[in-house]
A and B are shown apart, each in its own frame.
Chain A
Amino acid sequence: MDEKLSPIVTALTERFGCEAQEFRGEISLILPAEKLTGLLQSLRDEFSFEQLVDVTAVDYYPQEAPRFHVVYHVRSLSQGLVLCVRVPLDGNAPSTPTAEGVYPSANWYEREVFDMFGVTFTGHSDMRRIVMPADWQGHPLRKDFPLGYEEVQFTFNFDTVTKRKPQPKE
């Protein structure tokens, strides 16, 4: 662990009771959703993690509790550090408080997580789909959403695929 990062991690694990995991020198803090805003607030104000780099999620389907991990990466520009924060969420109507109040850049990142995983962020100012069409059904990056693979056309199946393919009107 980086010597600049370890006092920060120790202080945070004591105060918020979160679990710290290390892999290849990177620290992930795992904590429940209700403590997230407090943690991000103190990261920004006390430990000078000025920038929210990224918000994404991982789907552990078919595991249900927790099914999702919402993953935040925060960066300290002045100290050159990155910290990963993970929030486990259950599969049934997953929801977590928004980080928009602390980092305004969370706005689009959280909209993307909502669009792709169906995780809602309470208190978010603009919870619409961002990437997929507004009337799209389902959340594409969930593991139970099909990839949508279409059969590739070769000589042996040329006619069957052509028959299935939608034809445009002139």
Chain B
Amino acid sequence: MTDIREVTVDELKHLVSERAAQGETMLLNMGPQHPSTHGVLRLLLELDGEIVVSCIPDIGFLHTGVEKNMEAKNYQQAEVMTDRLDYLHPIGNNLVYCMAVEKLCDLDVPPRAQAIRVILAELTRLGSHLIWLGTSALDLAAMSVFLYTMREREKILDIFELVSGQRMMTTYLRPGGLWRDVPVEFEEAVYKFIDHMPSQVDEYQDLLDQNELFIDRTKGVSVIKSEEAVRWGITGPVLRAGGMAYDLRKALPYSTYEQYDFDIPTRTEGDIYARYAVRVDEMRESLKIIRQALNKLPLGPVRSNNRKYVPPPRSELGVSMEALIHHFKLWTEGFTPPVGSVYAAVESPRGELGVFMESDGSAKPYRVHYRTPTFANLQIMPLLTRGYFVADVVAAIGSIDIVLGDADR
């Protein structure tokens, strides 16, 4: 293990102002161990008194080597790693991976599986927004919001546990459908949750909307408008808070999102408060989508019938020799998609989450690349903090909803 390497001002000359070399401004290290960096983000701040002159983000403290590791596993095994990238949005990571594999193999997914995918993806989005709301309010010293949001999150995790047996890392979605059908209690549990949830969202808004301390720290701080945001590759709530109604669920619908009626919440101010408002509105829209999907949850199979890629149900194994052979081949060798490369994308709670997947015709993916929203959004930290106070840096980090596992991969 090497020791920590010190960085000199000379190395960063192109990133800091000239006054730093003369010692007129101060360079302050923030992170990777800092309570408000939501993980292990490191920022190097150049300060003129209390004012931030420049900000240099340093990431990679959670680099996991997922993309390299996936190349050494076959398609079914590699899916397990995807959960752990963006650990607040595990089902969405599964979803985009499955979509890429399905595109590569030209698999179709039955409607019931699609509807359940939508319900689970929206529940994950809710869970992610709840964590975001709790932690970023905690950064602004609103402790009780954290306790409230974690309480509701447990209810979402209970539903995940009901369907898959795991609270967070479910790996419940599989290429071609789902691992298995949801249990009979599923619908009742989700109905109970979405009936209960709107009043809870009201409660969070009661705590924050009119809160003078919260408004002072968030309104007019870290402004980024949508034109600037588009140039910098920003997607998700940060883009929508700047005034652009762009959501992949509407723009390029996947998993039958086109069947559901929902709005894209937007604001025009582009400040931290606008991002907060967009996310809270999104929580209500997610509830709307879940209710619609549940109301017309179709019956039928939850896995594709294409036996070359999708294992047969267990009930067939005892009666069909062919099914047994397929099962054996799929779980020992894996399947082999045709040669080619695809790109699939979903709207994650943080923005566009994409997968670029290339196959060389073998059972292992030749290259899997995750296009992660946090990586793109974190890039604008210098723009969001320049000219604001040091204390606003904390609020700015919280407002773009970073997950370092997502950024570093």
Which A residues contact B (CB, under 8 angstroms)? 23-24, 26, 28, 50-54, 56, 58-59, 71, 73, 77, 80, 82, 84, 103-105, 107-108, 112, 116, 125-126, 129-135, 140-141, 145, 147-149, 166
What residues of chain B lie closer than 8 Å to A71, measured between beta carbons? Answer: 341, 356, 369
Interface residues of B in 12-70 (CB under 8 A from A): 14-15, 59-60, 63, 65, 67-69
Additional 9 contacts, C-beta under 8 A, given A23-B342, A105-B376: A23-B340, A50-B230, A51-B233, A71-B369, A73-B371, A77-B246, A131-B408, A141-B67, A147-B69
What are 29 A-to-B residue pairs whose CB atoms are below 8 Å? A23-B341, A24-B104, A24-B340, A24-B342, A51-B230, A51-B231, A52-B233, A53-B354, A54-B369, A58-B366, A73-B343, A82-B343, A103-B231, A103-B233, A104-B231, A105-B231, A105-B376, A107-B379, A108-B375, A112-B375, A126-B14, A129-B60, A130-B59, A131-B59, A133-B2, A133-B60, A141-B68, A148-B65, A149-B72
A59 to B63 CA separation, bound complex (whole angstroms): 20
Question: Inside 8 A of B235's CB, which chain A residues have their CB?
Answer: 51
**B252 on the A face (CB < 8 A):** yes
B358 interface contact, C-beta 8 A: yes
How many B residues are at the interface, by size bracket?
35 or more
**Is B202 part of the binding interface, using a Cβ–Cβ cutoff of 8 Å?**
no
Please provide the chain B residues from 139 to 162 with a CB less than 8 Å away from any CB of chain A in the complex: none
Chain B, residue nearest A75 (CB):
B352
Residues in chain B within 8 A of chain A (CB atoms): 1-2, 5, 14-15, 59-60, 63, 65, 67-69, 72, 103-104, 106, 230-233, 235, 244, 246, 251-252, 340-343, 345, 352, 354, 356, 358, 366-367, 369, 371, 375-376, 378-379, 408-409
A166 CB → nearest B CB, Å:
7
Whether B354 contacts A54 by the Cβ 8 Å rule is yes
Interface of A is mostly: loop
Interchain CA distance A155-B14 in the complex, whole Å: 54
Q: Are A105 and B232 in contact (CB under 8 A)?
A: yes
B354:A108 contact, CB within 8 angstroms: no
> Chain B contacts of A112 at CB under 8 A?
375
Residues of A within 8 A of B59 (CB): 130-131
Q: Do A73 and B354 touch across chains, with their CB atoms under 8 A apart?
A: yes
Chain A residues contacting B103 (CB-CB under 8 Å) are 24
Shortest Cβ distance from B60 into A: residue: A131
Interchain CB contact under 8 A, B342 and A126? no
Q: Decide: B63 and A132 in contact? CB cutoff 8 A.
A: yes
Residues of B with C-beta under 8 A to A145: 68
Which of chain B's residues have a CB closer than 8 A to the CB of A148? 65
Which one, A77, A149, A166, contacts B251 given CB within 8 A? A77
| B68 adjacent to A147 (CB under 8 Å) | yes
Contacts of A131 in B (CB 8 A): 59-60, 63, 408-409
